[in-house]
Amino acid sequence: MQFNNKIVLVTGASRGIGREIAKQFAEKGATIAVHYNSNQSAANDTLGMLDGDGHIIIQANMDDADGIQTMVNSVVEQLGRIDILVNNAGIYDEHNLTDISYADWQANFRKTLDVNLIGVANTIYCAAQHMIKQGGGRIVNISSRGAFRGEPTAPAYGASKAGMNSMGQSLAKLLAPHNIFIGTVAPGFVETDMAAEILAQPRGEEIRNQSPLGRVAKPEEVAHVAVFLASEGAEFATGTIIDVNGASYLRS
């Protein structure tokens, strides 16, 4: 599959899964808008890893609705359009109900939902306005197995990803007549900066052994599925959620 002359906006592309997604699209000929929140240096590092030229970096806080609109419009102004949107940016923060205050509980839920769900909803809204005008597009959301199996010590994260899944399926039905197709990738643990601290703890070995492969996913494995969902020929998979968790959690 090739993405020559395609414009791809990848949120959270300064590291981890987002960086690998950006790299794989660029390898296949796409021009990438590398989004970052605060780490411009890492975003520039990603930019330097991309095949081809014409790529840009773009900043936005994912809990800032106006900033998201400015980001999307800026990508269109600089690169002409957005053919593919990959919603990868997200946060994870453990907040055990039995160990934190009521105020901290509320704050954690508010922040996590603002970034992981409402921020994604706003990005989709803004990008879809341009996609409808240009005759179509692709949207790929990066979710989590936590949406299905639960996240006991990070319930806001699980809730935000479950909401993302439902939203993606709802919008897949709404936007299909506009030639806009939406797919979701639901990884388990992945070797990223976000998961490194947890995987380094004593329970890291137990986490790796949740999969019969005896390991967690590599970022490039998640990226491969994201690229597939955005490819020509995958249109009839719109609304789907693909698990990439090494059989660590199986759902019916």
Return the bridge partners of 33, or none: 9, 56
**N-terminal to C-terminal alpha carbon distance within the chain:** 30
Rounded Cα–Cα distance for residues 161 and 90 (Å): 10
Q: Are 139 and 127 in contact (CB under 8 A)?
A: yes
Written as six digits, the tokens of 46 are: 């990603």
User: Hey, which residues are catalytic here?
Assistant: 157
Rounded Cα–Cα distance for residues 46 and 166 (Å): 31
Please give the backbone phi and psi of residue 36, each rounded to the nearest 5 degrees, phi first.
-140, 160
For the chain, helix, strand, coil in percent to 5 are 50, 15, 35
Residue 240 CA, distance from chain mean position: 15
